[in-house]
Every structure is written in C-alpha cells, then in structure tokens.
A = this chain, B = another copy of it.
Amino acid sequence: MDKLIEAIIAKDYNPTVVGLDPKLDYVPEYIVDECLKKAADPFAGAAEALFRFNSALIDSLCDIVPAVKPQSAYYEMYGIQGLMCLQRTMEYAKSKGMYVILDVKRGDIGATAEAYSRAYIGKTVIGGQEYRAFCPDSLTVNPYLGTDGLKPFVKDAEENDKTLFVLVKTSNPSSGELQDLAVDGGRIYEKTAALVRALGEPSVGAHGYGKVGAVVGATYPEQLKELRAKMPNTFFLVPGYGAQGGKAQDVALAFDKNRLGAIVNSSRGIMCAYKKGDWRPEQFAEAARAEAIRMRDDILGAIGK
C-alpha cells in the first residue's frame, strides 16, 4: 500500500480518489454530439466521448488528486468499445502519475479467481511469455466465496506490487441485509473484516498498511469507527461521501493519527460538478478541480490537518 500512501502524501495528504463512472449523461452534450456524429458506430462514438471526458478530468486533477477509480460497469455497458476506453483511461491516468484502483468487485472460486487476478493484477502466460492484459495498480474484490476466492488475488498483489480492496461493509442502503447479520462471534462484516485483516498482515509496509485493503462505506460511520479500531493495518477505500450522504466528519473516522489510513471516493460529485452553480458545460474540468479542492479541504479539516 506504500505506493498509494506516498501518492497521497505527495499531494499534500489529499485522501481523495476520483471515481470515473462516466455515464454518457454525465458528459457535456457538446462532446457527446460531436463524438457520435463522427463515429462509425454508436458504441465507438460513446467510448470516444467518455475518453475525452475522462482524459480532460485527469489533466485537470492529476496535480492535486492522487488516484482515480474507474468503475468497470460503466465501461462494460458500452461493450468492447467501452472496455477499450477503460483501458485507455487507465493507461492515461498512469501516464499522468495517478494511482489506478479498478472497481470490478470480482469474486469467484479458486481457478477462476486466479484467472480474474491474472487479468488485472497478475500476468497472462501466452506461448511461454508473460503479458499484462489490463494495467490497474489495485482491484476491488467480493468476499462471498470465502478465502479460496481471495487468495489468488492476494498472491498476485504480493508478487506484482499491486493492492486489493475487499468489500467489507458497503455504502448502499441494503448492505446490511447480509453484511449485518449476527453470527457466532459478531456480524458478517466483522467476520469478513477479520479475514481481510489476516490476509493483509504478511504484507504490511513502511507506512503500516498491508496490500489487502477494505471497502467500508462512509454511510455507516459507527461501523467505520469500529472497523478502524479493529483493523489497524488495513487501508480503507471509503465510498459514500457526498451524493450518497456521507459527511466529512463521518469519513474522518477512517483515518489514523498520521492523517493516513483511508482514501475517500467521490464520483458524481466531481464528474458532474459543472452541473451545479454557474459553470458553463465547457468548464466541466475546471468545475471538477474546484470541487476536488473543496472536498480535500472539507475532509482534511474534519480529520484535523
């Protein structure tokens, strides 16, 4: 986790990751119209519009924000062209020095988990040579299938200097239906937390955090506080700030006394900042930057800069 933490420190302790979940509705109309007009087919046009939007956001944010988190669903929705846009976006963000967390929430059993892991954070062997299919620095993973669904990812993270974030307590309204159920010795999310903590322990780095992080939503501040205490060596990815209702004082609970320990996601809040206030659509990247600065100061204020 040191690489991500150093990126955060280098950006004046800005603990923000920008979620790149670009529905076409989020992209200013003039970009969409131009791309659809020029493109050979609608999916190619949509993908080009998404890439123009993403790359302009990255240009505008890369000197103040340490990381981006593309959400795979929004690219898969645009088919093969959408996935090519995802790959271009990740490569572009990395070329600008940003840490890339790919939000895919994959989860499967042994051999299949291994294949997913190779696809994103490991290597694919073809004709005796190793290649990388996709290039993120980090991946989100679903724990429903238990340890043998997670171990291949942990192994690849350790061997390839990558990281993981395993879903522990998600930010959505129904997250409690399974995750909060009481079992012998605690709740489901606590069981998952213990598993994640153990998986990350062997790889604790210079800043005190292992390569296996946890997703814990800002919308459940009590659990966030509880899990911060119980998982001192687990870095958190915190969704749910802003649009979903999480406040700066809520996310502040995810941090340690060194102002580290978590990275907070904002997707729509930053991508669609130009739709609020007096911005013109052409100013979308500028508006995103202003919102990213506001968010940074809001959170750093709450954790006591």
Which residue of chain B is the closest to A150 with respect to CB atoms?
A: B174
> What 1/0 flags go to A47-78 for Cβ under 8 Å of B?
00000000000000000000000010110111
Instruction: Please report the C-alpha to C-alpha distance between residue A134 and residue B81 in the assembled complex, in whole angstroms.
Output: 11
Does A179 interact with chain B (Cβ within 8 Å)? yes
Does A170 interact with chain B (Cβ within 8 Å)? yes
Interface-facing stretch out of A180-188, A202-210, A245-253, A286-294: A180-188
Taking a contact as CB atoms under 8 Å apart, the answer to whether B126 and A45 are in contact is yes
List the 8 shortest-distance A-B pairs measured between CB atoms, nearest first: A146-B174, A146-B177, A79-B133, A109-B172, A73-B115, A181-B183, A76-B119, A42-B126
Q: List 15 A-B contacts (CB under 8 A).
A: A21-B112, A43-B124, A43-B133, A76-B133, A77-B119, A78-B133, A110-B172, A143-B144, A146-B175, A146-B178, A148-B174, A177-B191, A177-B195, A181-B191, A183-B183
Q: Which of A278-300 contact B (CB under 8 A)?
A: none
Does A80 interact with chain B (Cβ within 8 Å)? yes
Does A269 interact with chain B (Cβ within 8 Å)? no
Does A261 interact with chain B (Cβ within 8 Å)? no
A binding-site residues for B, Cβ under 8 Å: 21, 23-24, 32, 36, 42-43, 45-46, 71, 73-74, 76-80, 82-84, 87, 105-113, 115-116, 118-120, 124-127, 129, 131, 133-134, 142-149, 167, 170-179, 181-184, 188, 191-192, 195
> How far does the Cβ of A90 sit from chain B's closest Cβ, in whole Å?
12
Across the interface, which residues of B come within 8 angstroms of A184, CB to CB?
181-182
Q: How often does this chain occur in the complex, in copies? A: 2
Taking a contact as CB atoms under 8 Å apart, the answer to whether A80 and B73 are in contact is no
Across the interface, which residues of B come within 8 angstroms of A106, CB to CB?
73, 105
Across the interface, which residues of B come within 8 angstroms of A142, CB to CB?
105, 107, 142, 144
Which residue of chain B is the closest to A81 with respect to CB atoms?
A: B133
